[in-house]
Structure 1
Amino acid sequence: MSDQPTPMMAQYLAIREANPGALLFYRMGDFYEMFFDDAVAAAAALDIALTKRGTHEGQPIPMCGVPFHAAESYLLTLIRKGFRVAIAEQMEDPAEAKKRGSKSVVARDVVRLVTPGTLTEEALLEARRHNFLAAFAQVRDQAALAWVDISTGAFQVMDCPMSRLAPELARLAPRELLAVDGSGLDDLAGDAGAALTGLPPGAFDSASGTRRLCALFKVETLDGFGAFSRAELSAMGAIVDYLELTQKGNLPLLRPPVRERASGAMQIDAATRRNLELTQALSGGREGSLLTAIDRTVTAAGARLLERRISAPSRDLALIHARQEAVAQLVEDARLSADLRAALALAPDMDRALSRLALDRGGPRDLAAIRAGLSQGAEIATRFPADAAQVLRQAVRDLTGHDALIQLLDDALVAEPPLLTRDGGFVAPDYDEDLDETRRLRDEGRGVIARMQSDYAALAGVQSLKIKHNNVLGYFIETTTTHAEKMMAPPLSETFIHRQTTANQIRFTTVELSELETRILNARDRALQIERAVFERLREAVLERAPQIGQAARALAEIDLAAGFADIASGESWTRPRVDDSRAFVIEGGRHPVVERALKRKAEAFVANDCDLTSGDTPAIWLLTGPNMAGKSTFLRQNALIAVLAQAGAFVPARRAHIGMVSQLFSRVGAADDLARGRSTFMVEMVETAAILNQADDHALVILDEIGRGTATWDGLSIAWAVMEHLHAANRCRALFATHYHEMTALTAKLDGVENATVTVREWEGEVIFLHEVRKGAADRSYGVQVARLAGLPASVVERAREVLDALESGEREGATRPAALIDDLPLFRAIPPAPAAATPKDNPVDLRMKDIHPDTLSPREALDLIYELKSLTGDTA
């Protein structure tokens, strides 16, 4: 007996073969089923049962499945674990397949390929983060990066040589990166947290890309959107090609592509983003990042805009000043700001609702979201004064002019519609007359029949006339033989049609009753059919105004961000920075927003510090010395973060700030190895330092911490020394350079514009007190041994370290040339026994007595007596 696959299994295998590289969700009734290797992989990833169904080539077929109605949660798990999923739906009613014969299979086809960069469902997305799909293309000596968020419609592109790819991927953090097969971008994609998807070279053909883009935007030429290079057209075309593949031709609603200029934003490389923890903490996750510390937005779109601004601070002075003006106006009018934030909190995410509607994955709630968002926007627009800041005036213009669509949606939809169209019940009463009648038939069939019976009884003059129902005849009119004669005679016979005669009764029908019967029996399906037609009309009306709705959504996000910046500025005493084209960098009373937030939770105060890197056309570098734990790294980072906030259009945590435009921000702080690539901590440090020295221009801000510490002392000192001189002579930038090599403080006498600064400490009875104050001057030592003791090193280790340090320092003063000889003269190491354990409560009568005391139950007299008793227990009888 041959083991041929069943028709259903043959269909599954054919669909599976046509969609390689993806798990196949094969719709069977109320489940998505998976078979063969897909089932094995999915069962393990989802932790669900693996069963069997039939055999193939003599072996049992593994099978698992997930419920159709709960598929989104399973999809999310699979996507996060790196899988791609092809969704194969039933393309016809199973009843149609049965009509073709018992062996006919329900027609099925893949309607969508779910990948990390093509998610649109609310349950699969993080509301406050973008979900970018990026594509990198190279055409001869040109290269470009394009990216899109199909959940919001944002579509952008930029020239991007290979040297800029890593920083841009770090900025965007795309979920998926498209590249030509065999591109070798695996490491870059992995570093950015993106899934790398290889496509054939044909997908990146620039001529084909141009045709795809013109077809998508329904234009003859792309000239109206800008002048794009061949590489840019190639990257954008690859994205459109991939979306056609994954969405099976149902393209999302994308906005026309916007060409970004690299010079339009502060350049920040991947290492700097990581070191400064701009959007993600070093420990992983967002808690502890700058983004989390400053996020006061109340809408998802506002939060996404904040992340974009922090990730790419502007270098457009006019734009920065316009954004600052909006924040300043809301700071000055605290009541307006509070009212706006309360109203914005009621605005839904219109961008993502619009995208789902465009992809035909939306439902009634997405229409309601558009209605609510536009309604809230119109109401918010009325709150602004006529002299509102430019950014806010533009937002007001974008929020108005939607009255007709709001009215249409308000008339058509109930207040709280269901999630899915198939649930029905979302069209408001009195909107569609046919629907209202159908619903009455569906919900009030008996009442409609009763009213018709009364009407017919009056017409025939037969009060005993009844309308009845059975499974054979359906609805019919019944009367006695006595009354039937006149009903069968003109003119009543024109209305009443004879159907059946029984022993004692005559049964009739009417054209109206037959039609009513049909409508009652089909009312439920008919009502749902009408509602679906209404939904389609409303969806089309929304999509006709998609560009205007998108502008309104962006206006709400802009207002939300300005109000959020104003809220933190007012609440945390931030100030408006002066930003210009100079090389100034003056911070008075600067603070680290993340550290200050953490200290506030502990009811501790943050020590503010000044920083002045202004020196005209000459380099301006502070050489910062001082012990670990004194706050050097915090000081370094806070000045970099203040620059980021200023150029993002926010106020800054300082008493006063004057910042000349920062073109590039570099930070080499902290240490970590890269074992996967065979790089030691020192190698990582040197690679990052090399990138800074090779790229920083005279408007850059460079933050360097402990350069050279990963190697031998003299090697490290010589590298740090040379790096400092290169920054001064070649890069000529503004820089903060922290070091433990006190020998470098001598450079201030040789290099113009280099100043010594130190983080102050005090010693008190052998203890080190960190004051966290930065002042001009150099530290006399690093206090490393004292810090080691504070960290809890055993006393014997701390004491031995003091002995070795004293010997080395005395040898240096005496001109010793062989430290080994000094070490040889030291006494042998002696372990110091641990201190005796403190007395336990059982050894201490006062502690034992205190355990029995309940202060809330003591009278004043009892409390006084207790004090005398405790004094006696301590032996103090005075």
Structure 2
Amino acid sequence: MTKSATSNVTPMMAQFLEIKAEHKDALLFYRMGDFYEMFFDDAVAAAEALDIALTKRGKHLGEDIPMCGVPVHSAEGYFLTLIRKGFRVAVCEQLEDPAEAKKRGSKSVVKRGVVRLVTPGTLTEDSLLNARRHNFLAAYVEVRDEGALAWTDISTGALHVAACPRVRLGPELARLAPQELLILEEDEGDYADLVTDLGVALTSLARSAFDSTSAEKRLAGLFNVGSLDAYGRFGRAELGALGAIVEYLEITQKGKLPLLRPPVKERAESVMQIDAATRRNLELTRSLSGGRDGSLIAAIDRTVTAGGARLLERRLSGPSMNLDLIRARQDALAFCVEHAGLAAKLRDALRKTPDMDRALSRLAIDRAGPRDMAAIRGGLAQAAVISGMLSGYDAPEVISEGGEALVGHDTLLSLLEGALVADPPLLARDGGFIAPGYDADLDEARRLRDEGRGVIAAMQTDFAAQTGISSLKIKHNNVLGYFIETTATHAAKMLSEPLSQTFIHRQTTANAVRFTTVELSELETKILNAGGRALEIEKRLYSALKGEILDEADAINACAAALAEIDLSAALADLAAGENWCRPVVDDSRVFKVTAGRHPVVEIALRKQAGGPFIANDCAFAPGEGSSIWLLTGPNMAGKSTFLRQNALIALLAQIGSFVPAAQARVGLVSQLFSRVGASDDLARGRSTFMVEMVETAAILNQADDRAFVILDEIGRGTATYDGLSIAWATLEHLHDVNKCRALFATHYHEMTQLADKMPGVANATVAVKEWEGDVIFLHEVRKGAADRSYGVQVARLAGLPDAVVERARVVLDTLEKGEREGGKAHKALIDDLPLFSAVPQAATPAEKPSAALEKLQSVEPDELSAKAALDLIYELKELSEKS
């Protein structure tokens, strides 16, 4: 900003404009006492977004300066609103006490500076986050035709990276659901549509932020290692993505980096691949309406800790492909089912366990308070209790290995238990969080602050005894402060040896003599400063305790991870026992066999709504030995889509290590899960429902391998009948001959059932119904064989179409089916005979000839008729009506 531009503004406004110039893309929250103020365009935008009053303060270049503000103590809620509406916030704090600024002159401005940038991917406060979900910040870059995606949740410190070609970026972002994605500024246009679809905030950085060479040095320095080889071998793109995250955190946190853990390299083949459309269709973590209710995770989440809930979300988002790991998780779940009493006690203890991961992260970036320390204390205390519960049991590997991380914290736990009060305040600046007896200096300061009069009274008693003057008093005024006063009659005694060595003369009045002592002067200083000194001591102790906690960060993280694992195992065991789920056999085959399978979400919802029982159904594939594709027919409303989805969910649940809703199940590892179920359009991009369906189907046919599990519902329904049939037919052939995957294919094209006779891997199945007195009853049973008809007219009747429409549709259907049987020209003739389909328009009904009697009557003026004329008119009208 030029000198001339600032010459006509106040020093405070000049400071604001200078800081704002460095943060043009963010709303500047400028600290002024107990408020954050915003000015100019920031104020206008914030007032509208937050629905708060817009005022004005002074003038700039001859115009009023718009202003609005929010209280500091409630600013977090406003941050969240602004973040959700697409804004970023630069938090500008006062960096010195106003009293210090006044020492430089009456017009001096308090030093201020931005201490933090609030962005969607860098939130840490509990009030801004969903405790049961991760809040990921991701970065993507391509280097020499190799892509990589890195991501972190700074509220827990987790840091991951994976090789990721651009074609896989969409599915990976759908899996992680990051809140913010960092990309090269020149590539911003390439990713705009992708991130808009997924609801991810896009942030562009200069190419230097993604430089792999400087990133490697930065990461090595961050983790205090000479080389990153101990954490794995990272490619240039992977290093670039990791480096961008670290640089962005340094920018937004103003040098106070969160407590990041060493990077974990993930491999695409280690988890089941699920694209965005499939996640949406199967409603894994969000329902189609956008909320959590109605989703799979909402139905099965029985975790009692925030860490356990986040772990469940991670597992559902990326089911494992590692057989040993899946079976180990099953063992842990089975242990909890077998020892139900122990599991119940563990869950009770876990309910009392705070979120140590997020408390630790806030401590690392100085965004914490005494309650976060108490959370660490409470978590470690419960970990010790849970470890004691597990002792004596031969727990499986997942639990026993985690159990080792639950112990070994005695020194830190003892320190925190001795240092902190039972229920500390939220903020360190409030004081009162250090327990009595922990620090002698603090206890003395508090005693002087809280009991100053009592201390002075005790000293007065001591002085009276020492001098032998019972009338001696300690008093206070604003001139002398605390002083000792005796009557004039005792002046000679006080001024002579040996008392004069201790008592220093201050003042003589007509009736009294006043003294002080070194001890009293020191006590006066201590009393006057006791409150401030107590706070300073507590702040010093807070910093020391924080250092002790951060020194044990790795051990605390491991403990929190163990607690989350135990919580998830016990929660899934509670679900399995309560819902009668079975332990599936998961192996390296391509078999998929489920006996009496159910849809987990629908079954639980039916029970809550006091509906009928869920009808269980079998499903079996054995590629190479039997069918690999089931062609499913049957009417709408019979349950085809539910059957498709439930089997996909059973495969997914099996590979997170859970039991599944079935009587028996065997699941050969599923590498990819694809779903094309439901109809939706994309009007923003000008794509019809049919176009969306074709795009999703194309993705399946181009990507599915022989270990994929595919569910397809009504492919081709959005276009002309024969076009749709031909597309569905060709799609099924491609799945069978080329992809060679396991698939459930639901259709209303009954002609396709012939494929079961031509393709050895295709089997027909149908959802059974029963007709009764013209109505259709849905049995929801899946049986081998093909449906004999679609029952669409009966379903239309159930939906409430008028009886006339239903009966007319039945007549048309009977006519069409008869013509179909006769075929050829007869079929066309029958269609042409139907008024609905006739190509020749019906002749218009001729207009009626006007009535002569009516015309005569319309020309009559009744008020002008005499009795004789009225009678004559009646005779005339009668004659005219007879002629017509």
TM-score calculated relative to the size of structure 2:
0.93
Partner SS state of residue 575, structure 2: helix
Aligned to 2:700: 692
Aligned-partner residue type, residue 313 of structure 2: E
Partners of 1:820 and 1:286 in 2: how far apart? Answer: 51
Q: Secondary structure at the match of 2:366?
A: coil
Structure 1 residues 64-75: aligned runs within 5 Å: 64-75=68-79
Distance 2:240 2:464 in 1: 77
1:221 corresponds in structure 2 to 227
What SS class does the counterpart of residue 389 from structure 2 fall into?
A: coil
* 1:326-364 alpha-carbon deviations (Å, 9 max, x no partner): 000100111111111111000000000000000001100
**Residue 817 of structure 1, CA deviation:** 4.4
- Following the alignment from structure 1 to structure 2, what is the Cα–Cα distance between the partners of residues 407 and 683? 64
Task: Map 1:75-224 onto structure 2 (within 5 A).
Answer: 75-183=79-187, 184-224=190-230
Paired position in structure 2 for 1:728: 736
Task: State the partner residue of 1:810.
Answer: 818
- The 5 Å alignment of 1:637-648 reads 637-648=645-656
Q: Is this contact kept in 1: 2:819–2:828, CA < 8 A?
A: no
Report the residue type matching 2:159 in the other structure.
Answer: F
1:244 aligns with 2:232: no
Q: Which is worse superposed, 183-192 or 16-25?
A: 183-192
Query: CA offsets per residue over residues 291-311 of structure 1, 9 Å max, x none?
Result: 000000001111000000001
Quick one: distance in 1 between partners of 2:196 and 2:689?
Answer: 20
| 2:600 alignment partner in structure 1 | 593
Separation (CA, whole Å) in 1 of partners of 2:75 and 2:61: 30
Question: Match for residue 473 of structure 2?
Answer: 466
1:680 aligns with 2:680: no
1:619 deviates by 6.0
CA–CA separation in structure 2 for the residues paired with 1:199 and 1:97: 37
Of 457, 464, 467, the match for 1:457: 464
1-side partners of 2:424 and 2:597: how far apart?
50
**1:613–1:621: 8 Å Cα contact kept in structure 2?**
yes
In 1, Cα distance between equivalents of 2:239 and 2:194: 22
Q: Does 1:567 align with 2:574?
A: yes
Aligned counterparts, 1:293-312, within 5 A: 293-312=299-318
In 2, the alpha carbon distance for the partners of 1:816 and 1:325 equals: 64
Secondary structure, aligned partner of 2:778: strand
- Unaligned stretches of 5+ in structure 2? 838-884
Contact 1:300 1:349 in 2 (8 A): yes
How far the C-alpha of 1:487 sits from its partner, in A, is 2.3
After superposition, give the CA deviation of every residue in 1:394-435 in whole Å (9 maximum; x if it has no partner): 111010000110000000000000000011111000000000
Structure 1 position 43 matched with structure 2 position 31: no
Cα distance in 2 between the residues matched to 1:639 and 1:182: 43
Residue identity matched to 1:351: D
Q: Secondary structure at 1:152's aligned position in 2?
A: coil
- Partner AA of 2:148 in structure 1: A
2:86 counterpart letter in structure 1: G
8 Å contact kept, 1:619–1:732: no
* 1:692-715 superposed Cα distances (whole Å, 9 cap, x missing partner): 111111111111111111111111
Q: Which residue of 2 aligns with 1:422?
A: 429
Give 5+ residue unaligned stretches, structure 1.
830-878
Deviation at 1:827, TM superposition (A): 5.0
1:382 counterpart letter in structure 2: G
Deviations 1:603-661 (A, max 9, x none): 22100000001233676110000000000000000000001110001100000000000
Paired residue for 2:495?
Answer: 488
Q: What is the DSSP-based 3-state SS (H/G/I as helix, E as strand, rest coil) of the residue aligned with 2:425? A: coil
Q: Distance in 2 between matches of 1:191 and 1:395?
A: 39
The Cα of 1:796 is off from its aligned counterpart by 2.1
Within 5 Å, which residues of 2 pair with 1:548-563? Answer: 548-563=555-570
1:383 partnered with 2:389: yes
Match of 2:333 in 1: 327
Whole-Å separation in 1 of the counterparts to 2:660 and 2:481:
78
Give the secondary structure class of the aligned counterpart of 1:634: helix
1:498 aligns with 2:505: yes
Which whole-Å deviations, capped at 9, do the CAs of 1:189-221 have from their partners, x for residues lacking one? 122211000111111111111122112112221
Q: What's the counterpart of residue 845 of structure 1?
A: none
Residue 800 of structure 1, CA deviation: 2.0
Secondary structure of the structure 1 residue equivalent to 2:378: helix
Q: Which residue of 2 aligns with 1:526?
A: 533
Tell me if the contact between 2:212 and 2:237 (Cα under 8 Å) persists in the aligned partners: yes
How many angstroms does 1:489 deviate by? 2.1
Give the superposition deviation at 1:187: 1.3
Distance 1:763 1:502 in 2: 116
Asked whether 1:341 is paired with 2:327, we answer no
Residues 627 and 763 of structure 2 are in contact (CA less than 8 Å); yes or no, is this contact kept in structure 1?
no
Q: Secondary structure at the match of 2:434?
A: coil
Write the deviation string for residues 64-86 of structure 1: whole angstroms up to 9, x where unpaired: 00001110111111111111000
SS at match of 2:578: helix
Partner Cα separation in structure 1 for residue 322 and residue 261 of structure 2: 23
Distance 1:615 1:36 in 2: 68
Q: Deviations over 1:370-417 (max 9, x none)?
A: 000000011001111331111110111010000110000000000000
Structure 1 residues 458, 586: closer, same or farther in 2, change over 3 A? same
Match of 1:111, SS state, is strand
Residue in structure 2 matched with residue 870 of structure 1 by the alignment = none
1:860: which partner in 2? none
Partner of 1:833: none
Matched position secondary structure for 2:824: coil
Q: 1:544 aligns with which of 526, 547, 551?
A: 551
CA deviation map 1:752-772 (0-9, x unaligned): 121000000000001100000
Q: Which amino acid aligns with 1:132?
A: F
State the secondary structure of the residue aligned to 1:740. Answer: coil
* 1:823 CA drift (Å): 2.7
Percent identity, aligned pairs only, is 71
Matching residue of 2:449: 442
TM-score (norm 1): 0.93
Task: Give the counterpart letter for 1:75 in structure 2.
Answer: F
Distance in 2 of aligned mates of 1:193 and 1:155: 22
Counting only pairs closer than 5 Å after superposition, residues 643-658 of structure 1 correspond to structure 2 as 643-658=651-666
What is the CA-CA distance between 1:822 and the residue it aligns to? 2.4
Tell me the distance in 2 between the aligned counterparts of 1:817 and 1:189. 54
Q: Tell me how far apart the structure 1 counterparts of residues 489 and 56 of structure 2 sit (CA, whole Å).
A: 69
Q: In 2, are the aligned partners of 1:495 and 1:510 still within 8 Å (CA)?
A: yes
Alpha carbons 1:153, 1:252 under 8 Å: kept = yes
1:365-384 to structure 2, matched below 5 A, reads 365-384=371-390
Cα distance in 2 for residues equivalent to 1:750 and 1:160: 40
SS at match of 1:185: helix
Match of 1:770 in 2: 778
Which position in structure 1 is the counterpart of 2:405? 398
* 2:10 corresponding residue in structure 1: 6
Matching residue's letter, 2:621? L
Task: Answer with 473-482 or 22-31: which moved more.
Answer: 473-482
Secondary structure of 1:615's aligned partner = coil
* Alpha-carbon distance in 2 for matches of 1:115, 1:461: 71
Contact in 2 for aligned 1:618/1:732 (Cα 8 Å) = no
Q: How far has the Cα of 1:122 moved from its partner?
A: 0.8
Change (3 A) 1:6 1:617: farther
CA–CA distance in structure 1, aligned partners of residues 708 and 80 of structure 2: 41
Give distance in 2, aligned partners of 1:539 and 1:619: 62
Structure 1 residues 466-498: Cα deviation after superposition (integer angstroms, max 9, x where no partner): 100000000001112222322222222221111
Measure the CA separation in 2 of the matches of 1:453 and 1:394: 64
In structure 1, distance between residues paired with 2:231 and 2:486: 77
Question: Quick check: which has more Rg, 1 or 2?
Answer: 2
Indicate the residue corresponding to 1:357 in structure 2: 363
Which whole-Å CA distance do the structure 1 matches of 2:627 and 2:819 have between them? 37
| Partner Cα distance (2:286, 2:477) in 1 | 70
Offset at 1:272? 0.5
Residue number in structure 2 paired with 1:853: none
Distance in 2 separating the partners of 1:615 and 1:588: 18
Distance 2:700 2:625 in 1: 20
